[in-house]
Structure 1
Amino acid sequence: MKNVTLIIGGSGVLGSSLVKRLLKEYSSDDQIIVVDKNKFPSVDQRVKSIVFDLNSNNYNVFRDAITGLGIQSINKVIFMPGINYTDDLFETDALKINSSYAVNTTSLIFIIKSLLDLLQDNTSIVVTGSQNGIAAHSNRISYSMSKAALLMLLKNLTLDFSKLPNDIRINGISPTYVYNEKNADFLDSFEGQKLKKRIPYEKFITVDEVIDIVMFLMSDLSKPLRGQNIILDYGYSLVW
């Protein structure tokens, strides 16, 4: 069966790495659509870019952009956008809170609603949460609330999907600090190494490790998993 994979918020480190992995494994007939507020680089003829701001709330335009590419069905959706403000009770405001929820949480609802008739039987939806959605973190009040709500949304959507004729499953991952070139200087610093000492296995997860779990959740091996959140942190959340 032809794979048509939709990656929402795909221009970041994880999204770009996922595209590279999929291109290695997909056939010439498979397609990858990357949706982001920034245009995704043209890296392969199988990859199409749609520029869309999840804060816009115009999901008719979003659907038109998808169908305008000739897409008639989708069997994999990867949801990984994330607005991550540095704010606490004293610094946050309605704009930060509302935009965090709009992008990190509620956009998933409207994306699914707009594309529901395009989702094939045996569609897998994978969402990216965060350790901040399961444990408190200073200066992350808007981000943490939106990611915690996203994890509950997995459960509600699973119940709703059970009523559909097509078999659609949704699961999530919640990574801790993901070691990559953008944060390597900090994680390699004295403060970063102090942080690593707090992790039971004294390891930061890597981009490849995150993508491995996403690939598993996209595959038929994950069929029994419904509405679950997999924490990727080498045990950090156990002692946080």
Structure 2
Amino acid sequence: MEYKGFDVNFGLKNKVAIVTGGLSGIGEAIADLYIKKGAKVAIFDVKKDTAEETKEKYGEAAIGLTVDVTQKLQIEAAIKIVMDTYSKIDLLVNSAGIALLDDAENLSEEYWDKTFAINVKGSFLVAQAVGKILIKSGGGKIINMASQAALVALDNHVAYCASKGAIVSMTKVLAYEWAQYNINVNCISPTVILTELGKKAWAGQAGEDMKKQIPAGRFGYPDEVAACALFLASDGSSLMTGENMVLDGGYTVK
């Protein structure tokens, strides 16, 4: 592939991005930053009022589509709307996910299945559908959301850790198979991020104890993950594929 340089401001002007789970948490922060950098964004979210909420927040800069990422037909229908609206897709961020926690002895089959359906199957189905378009169009970038839980054991996180480990492995295979089509596939592995859910889950002593295990001494913020996703979406990361960008304040270096 010919090297053409890149915008040193990591601009995304004229790019079209799909962001799953884009109405809350990390996905919302990524959608916000991509739009600020000039991209048009299609937000896939399971919320019934995704279209209305997206239009109210972003106006003409984005479209919102109600999509259950575990349902292939819903994904394909939504992607058709994106193509009809913007005529192309350049970027995908798989940010939709779930964390259902319990110890390994008592974790229910329902929790295991739902975790893998959303975190792994959902990410793959969207990546597969978008990948087919990128192969035909000459390339693009796919960013999957993994976690520090992919790299280390966390108490009560057996399904979540296993699902995020699967994301890292899936990312590597997609990167290997699709590099020939000028498609970069990478993932991001954050530590605890202070989304609204993160703030509630790690409030009080549990959060203080967790922060003591992080060399940087703090949790992360959604816009810090968005900054990593911006780099991976930009032309500046064109030689980077199959990698797991760890954003954990040093938690996993121990």
TM > 0.5: yes
Unaligned stretches of 5+ residues in structure 2: 1-12
Name the counterpart of 2:73. 60
Name the counterpart of 1:3. 15
1:113 aligns with 2:125: no
Name the counterpart of 2:8. none
Q: What secondary structure, in the 3-state scheme, does the structure 1 residue paired with 2:218 have?
A: coil
1:212/1:222 Cα in 2 relative to 1: closer, same or farther (>3 Å)? same
Name the counterpart of 1:35. 44
Count of residue pairs brought into register by the alignment: 232
**How much has 1:107 moved relative to structure 2?**
2.2
Q: TM-score, normalised by structure 1?
A: 0.88
Name the one with the larger strand percent. Answer: 1
The C-alpha deviation readout for 1:167-186, integer Å capped at 9, x for no partner, is 10100110001124444466
Give the CA RMSD over aligned residues. Answer: 2.0
1:114/1:198 Cα in 2 relative to 1: closer, same or farther (>3 Å)? closer
The C-alpha deviation readout for 1:1-36, integer Å capped at 9, x for no partner, is 72110001222211112222222221xxx4211111
What stretches of structure 1 move > 4 A for 4+ residues in a row? 185-188
1:24 aligns with 2:39: no
Name the one with the larger helix percent. Answer: 2
The C-alpha deviation readout for 1:46-89, integer Å capped at 9, x for no partner, is 2111111123x3x2332222213414321000001112101222
Name the counterpart of 2:64. 49
Name the counterpart of 1:176. 191
Name the counterpart of 2:108. 93
Identity %: 24
Name the counterpart of 1:167. 182
Counterparts of 1:229 and 1:2, CA distance in 2: 26
Q: What secondary structure, in the 3-state scheme, does the structure 1 residue paired with 2:43 have?
A: strand
Counterpart AA for 1:33? A
Asked if the contact 1:6–1:34 (Cα under 8 Å) also holds between the matched residues in 2, the reply is yes
Asked if the contact 1:63–1:115 (Cα under 8 Å) also holds between the matched residues in 2, the reply is no
Counterparts of 1:92 and 1:136, CA distance in 2: 16
Unaligned stretches of 5+ residues in structure 1: none
Q: What secondary structure, in the 3-state scheme, does the structure 2 residue paired with 1:234 have?
A: coil
Q: TM-score, normalised by structure 2?
A: 0.83
